[in-house]
Amino acid sequence: MDATMKVTLLSIVVLFWSFAECSDPHLDPLTPSEISRVQTIIQNEYPTNHKPTFNYVGLEEPDKLKILSWQSSNPKPSSPPPRRAFVIVRSQKQSHEIIVDLSKRSIVSTKVYQGNGYPTLTLGEIEEATQLPLTYEPFKKSLRKRGLDDVSQVQCIAFTLGWFGEANTRRIVSIKCHYRNGTVNFHARPVEGVEIFVDVDDMKIVGYNDRYVVALPKAEGTDYRASKPKPPSAPKPKQDHGPGFTIDGHSVSWGRWNFHVGYDSRAGAIISLASYYDVQKQKHRPVLYKGFISELFVPYQDPTEEWYYKTFFDSGEYGLGQFMSSLQPSIDCPSDASFIDAYYASSDGTPVEIPKAFCIFEKYAGDIMWRHTEASIPNELITETRSEKTLVVRTVSTVANYDYITDWEFTPSGSIKAMVGLTGILALKATNYTNTEEIKKDIYGTLVADNTIAVSHDHYFTYSLDLDVDGVANSFMKSNFETVRVKDRNIPRKSYWTVVSETAKTEADARIKLGSKPSELLVVNPNKKTKQGNKIGYRLLPGPMAQPLLLGDDPPQIRGAFTNYDVWVTPYNKSEKWVSGLYVDRSRGDDTLAVWSERNRNIENRDIVMWYTMGFRHVPCQEDFPVMPNLSGSFELRPTNFFESNPYL
């Protein structure tokens, strides 16, 4: 089927995309019983002496066309699209890609991956690798050399190594260790100068360095627990809000919004099938087919031997979903929030529950949605205002030292906002310095406490945003603001600005570096207009920006080339899901969004996906230590001529 025919069929199907419910079991994450079924089916295919490691087990989604067709059917067909799982297992130092039909309890296809890179690390692999130093005699000797005698106080972390031009790589991680002894904040007490290398496939130590000794930062003042700091912390605020939404499985209805909440062990939260009920048109209108964080790229800026490779891809190398934390009522979320559990597959394929992985709640922070005071009418004062209550879907992923709060927020006026919050513990490096006057060279960060450097770094959150603005066939439009000189000499004004719109025809036209030119970016439906003749659309209101400062030929930037532009647009392709590639650990940048986009495909009046990167450049400060207050940023997808007028009226 060629692209034109596919778009035509999608356009026909999308006439019925105005469903009143978004319930769709085909997008629900795998259940514990389904994960167990996958485990049994695959383990039966491998000899007992070569048990596979389950590095990824997720939903193999049906084609978008099939999902939308099923949604539009009334009554529903007796045979819905099959439930399938996509699995990556590691066995005998090979990565196997397997598709399992859950209803038929059989393997549909299997192949051995032959390219560069390795799959996401599992929690089991990380735990086993980080225990190896504790019984390794050279490491114990290094501890004794530093006067650290109690191995039970050692806590280790596994770090991916990246790729720096090597012709051949192995699945090796670096292990860095810390010494608790007086604090739960072990990140604040690194055993600097010692580095252990572990081959994850063989699960054995293959390299060891003890290059230098520096002072171990003190434990005093690093504990962040509420019972420890003095003077006592302020009392916790009471959070009470009235629920006004319904949850049916993974489908949520609130006000005029319907949407589906999904889960993936790599992406974390996935929002799908978001539609808004238009009172004037008396139907639900599609807005967002799917949105999720495709990758979180975190390059640290210390080029020394023990730190240069710390350029992490937290989604592809570690998995934002499998590192999701259980949320605490009245603390992480309001007391009357509703919760949804999540499940992922452990290293051996056993389902693991994350209780209260999602919370969903109404938020009212005293914000105004709209207001106006009219005082010019004789003998009359009019003040009309509406408070804004929104619906929030929240998750928290704790990847080693950082805690990432992610919110999807739905507003009554038709906007979708995505917020991320950065908190937790900084990546800390031990040093002999105690005052900045002692420093005579670049320390690649900030001296935040005695003997403690917090290393500078970036955070790049790249979102996949498959907008279906009132239909599947959309276009990407740039509304450029241009200065015009007034030609009429009778007018004292010399200039004004106007909007000059251009529609991107190919992928190259839609690569945007924000700030390079004053403009607004929109996804529009070129096939529909308002009564006034404006194109129906949604525009991107960007959040924080941190464009890359690494050189283009620096290996971390080659792997993270999807951050070269803040915005990309590609034609929908089911296989193009992860901007950093399917296999990210030790990858070489040959399967990234930047590579896909080189084909420069047609994106005008097509089913398109927008990729947007929100960036934070973090120069740490002393207030970030010992635990960092939440640093947040957000972007908004805002209706632009989507409605005939303010929809909340």
Burial letters 305-343, b for 16+ CB under 10 A, else e: ebbbbbbbbbbbbbbbbbbbbebeeeebbbeebebbebb
Exactly one of 402, 404, 433, 460 is catalytic; name it: 402
Peptide bond between residue 75 and the one before it cis (omega within 30 degrees of 0): yes
Look up residue 243 and give its amino acid: P
Q: From CA 208, how far away is CA 195, in angstroms rounded?
A: 6
Alpha-carbon distance of 510 to 506, in angstroms, equals 7
Torsion of CA 158, 161, 162, 168, to 10 degrees: -130
In degrees rounded to 5, what are phi and psi of residue 68?
Answer: -65, -35
Confirm if 620 and 631 have CB atoms less than 8 A apart. no
Contact predicate 285/275, CB 8 Å? yes
Query: Can you spell out the DSSP letters for 414-467?
Result: S-EEEEEEEEE---EEE-S--SGGG--S--SEEEEETTEEEEPEEEEEEEEEEE
243 closest CA partner among 324, 354, 329, 357: 329
**SS3 category, 639:** strand
Helical pair 64-72 and 3-14, crossing angle rounded to 10 deg: 30
Among candidate residues 28, 264, 314, 624, the one labeled active-site is 314
**569: which strand partners?**
610
Active site residue 402: yes
Per-residue CA distances from 316 to 45, 157, 312, 557, 560 (Å):
26, 17, 9, 15, 11
Are 457 and 299 spatial neighbours (Cβ–Cβ below 8 Å)?
A: yes
Tell me the chain's radius of gyration from C-alpha atoms.
Answer: 26
Q: Which residues contact 180 (CB under 8 A, 6 or more apart)?
A: 153, 154, 155, 186, 189, 219
343 is catalytic: no
Active site residues per annotation: 314, 402
